[in-house]
Amino acid sequence: MFKKIGQKLKDQRGLTLIELLAVVVILGIIAAIAIPSIGGLINNSKKDAHIANAQQMVSAARMAVTAKDVEGSTTFTLDSLVSDGYLEDVDNPSGTSYDDDKTAVFVTKNSSTGNYTYRVTLSSNNSATNGYFVNKDPDSLTRDDVNLDGLATETTTNPTP
């Protein structure tokens, strides 16, 4: 019995051209499905990182508000939060750096309730762009709010709510 199996294995000479072509086509189909999915995962990770950076900036602004006892409205730029020691340098997941002066947290104190509202803007260091998102509530940010091209524009002229 082993002789017959051994003889059959020796008679096999390899794969035919049709079989190799079928394997290449199947691998091409798998690659065509997988590559866009991987690109989507990378973009979603970048958007999540921008949102996390914005929330980190707002946390630093909250510390600054507590330390400085802010009245009315004020703006904390990324540069001021870093230089005052409330925040360490923030890396931009899109490869460029954030604009230190345009990337900011806008804080407004409601005089009747004493509550603070926070709005955040993340801008690229590229002067041709407006930002990844502009004047957004950091607690309600979603991936849909982040524009990875850096072309998000503000819908109002006043950065505070």
**pLDDT in the model for residue 68:** 82
- This prediction has a pTM of 0.73
Of 132, 61, 120, 60, the C-alpha closest to 92 is: 132
Tokens standing for residue 117: 């509202």
Residue by residue, pLDDT tens for the chain (161 residues) are 777 777 666 666 677 889 899 999 999 999 999 988 888 899 899 999 999 999 999 999 999 998 887 778 899 999 999 999 999 988 888 888 888 888 899 999 888 888 899 999 988 876 555 688 888 998 899 988 888 876 666 544 444 44
**Which sequence spans correspond to the domains of the chain?**
19-145
DSSP 8-state code for residue 117: E
Distance from the first to the final alpha carbon of the chain:
85
- The 3-state DSSP class for residue 52 equals helix
Residues linked to residue 142 through DSSP beta bridges, in sequence order: none
